[in-house]
């Protein structure tokens, strides 16, 4: 069983730290898919959790794939074409699918290099805050590979097609300021202030009503993929649920009484 993710609870916020600092949080090792799937499933089942902050231990967010394992054809990279293909589906794609299915807002606090799968994991977050020490790269082509983690789908959705193409086709690394200029991260902050900034934002999210917050994230996701009519139908259905909730009653009462709601 992978011990990749160190979980910490602060009120309605969970902090997930990729805890493989001695290897720059390289991933995935076999078993990492279970660590991500279990963490995501636990949060999805706990309505008291309203936001997750994901960061890395040490000086990297995640350096991505283990080059020595690639060279030695071990772990994820062992075997022939069929074995590697099926292992990507079972391991790498399970990580991506689990994070994409996380029901609460996910903030990536990118504390250092985010490369390959590490960059795409950050890209799966709803919000990205970068340390001024962070760098981003998708160096698959430089290694003679394709973005096997789904980066061809993930990256255009947060960086735009042209920027995704530039990152993938050149295999270059960009600094945090460039990532912010390209719209890949919401803000860049001094390294020592990164977690304070991320947790402050998580705190603003965590005071929102749990059910409506999750439904809003679901609608945002649908809005990127589905036709407008389908999203409007889903919106009407979810809004009907929200109107009959005690959170809605509290929100209206608080607004009329000119106080903060207590969800």
Q: What pLDDT shows up at residue 2?
A: 59
- Segment 17-31 mean pLDDT: 96
Contact indicator for 213, 104 with CB cutoff of 8 Å: yes
Q: Map residue 93 onto helix, strand or coil.
A: helix
Alpha-carbon distance of 143 to 245, in angstroms, equals 52
Contact indicator for 241, 248 with CB cutoff of 8 Å: no
pLDDT digits (tens, 9 = 90+) for 39-54: 999 999 999 999 999 9
- Segment 74-97 mean pLDDT: 97
pTM given for the model: 0.95
Of residues 217, 88, 195, 105, the one with CA closest to residue 148: 88
Residue 1 has pLDDT above 50, yes or no: no
- Segment 239-244 mean pLDDT: 97
Q: What pLDDT shows up at residue 89?
A: 97
Contact indicator for 217, 104 with CB cutoff of 8 Å: yes
């Amino acid at each position: 069983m992978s011990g990749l993710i160190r979980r910490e609870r602060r009120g309605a916020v969970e902090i997930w730290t990729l805890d493989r600092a001695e290897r720059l949080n390289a991933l995935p090792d076999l078993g990492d898919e279970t660590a991500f799937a279990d963490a995501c499933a636990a949060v999805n089942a706990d309505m008291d959790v309203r936001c997750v902050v994901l960061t890395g231990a040490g000086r990297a967010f995640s350096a991505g794939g283990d080059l020595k394992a690639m060279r030695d054809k071990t772990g994820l990279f062992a075997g022939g074409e069929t074995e590697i293909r099926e292992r990507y589906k079972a391991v790498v794609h399970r990580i991506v699918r689990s994070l994409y299915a996380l029901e609460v807002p996910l903030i990536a606090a990118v504390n250092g290099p985010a490369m390959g799968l590490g960059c795409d994991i950050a890209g799966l977050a709803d919000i990205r805050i970068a340390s001024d020490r962070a760098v981003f790269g998708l160096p698959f082509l430089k290694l003679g590979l394709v973005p096997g983690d789904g980066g061809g789908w993930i990256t255009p959705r947060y960086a735009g097609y042209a920027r995704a193409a530039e990152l993938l086709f050149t295999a270059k690394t960009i600094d945090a300021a460039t990532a912010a200029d390209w719209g890949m991260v919401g803000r860049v902050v001094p390294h020592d202030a990164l977690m304070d900034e991320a947790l402050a934002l998580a705190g603003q999210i965590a005071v929102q009503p749990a059910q409506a917050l999750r439904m809003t994230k679901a609608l945002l996701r649908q809005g990127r993929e589905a036709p407008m009519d389908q999203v409007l139908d889903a919106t009407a259905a979810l809004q009907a649920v929200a109107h009959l909730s005690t959170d809605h009653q509290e929100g209206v009462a608080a607004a009329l009484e000119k106080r903060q709601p207590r969800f």
